[in-house]
Amino acid sequence: MLLEAQGLRKVYDTRGVMTKALDGVDLEVEEGEFAALAGPSGSGKTTLLNMLGALDVPDEGRVLLDGDSYGDLSARALASLRLHKLGFVFQAYNLIPVFSAVENIEFVLELQGAPAAERRARALEVLEQVGLEGLGEKRPLELSGGQQQRVAVARAIASRPRLVLADEPTANLDSVTARSLLDLMQSLNREHRVTFLFSTHDPLVMEAARRIVRLKDGQIEIDERSEAA
Q: How confident is the model at residue 159 (pLDDT cuts 50, 70, 90)?
A: confident
Three-state DSSP class for residue 177: helix
CA 94, 98, 101, 105 torsion: positive or negative? negative
Identify the CA nearest to 95 among candidates 134, 132, 130, 143.
Answer: 143
Q: Are the CB atoms for 5 and 51 separated by under 8 Å?
A: yes
Q: Are the CB atoms for 102 and 137 separated by under 8 Å?
A: yes
Question: How many domains does the chain fold into?
Answer: 1
The predicted pLDDT at position 221 comes to 96
Task: Say yes or no to pLDDT of 119 above 70.
Answer: yes
Return the percentage of the chain with pLDDT > 90, whole number.
75
Q: How confident is the model at residue 229 (pLDDT cuts 50, 70, 90)?
A: very low
How far is residue 81 from each of residues 69, 124, 208, measured CA to CA in Å? 11, 24, 28
CATH of the domain at 156: 3.40.50.300
Range of the domain at 28: 3-225
Report pTM: 0.91
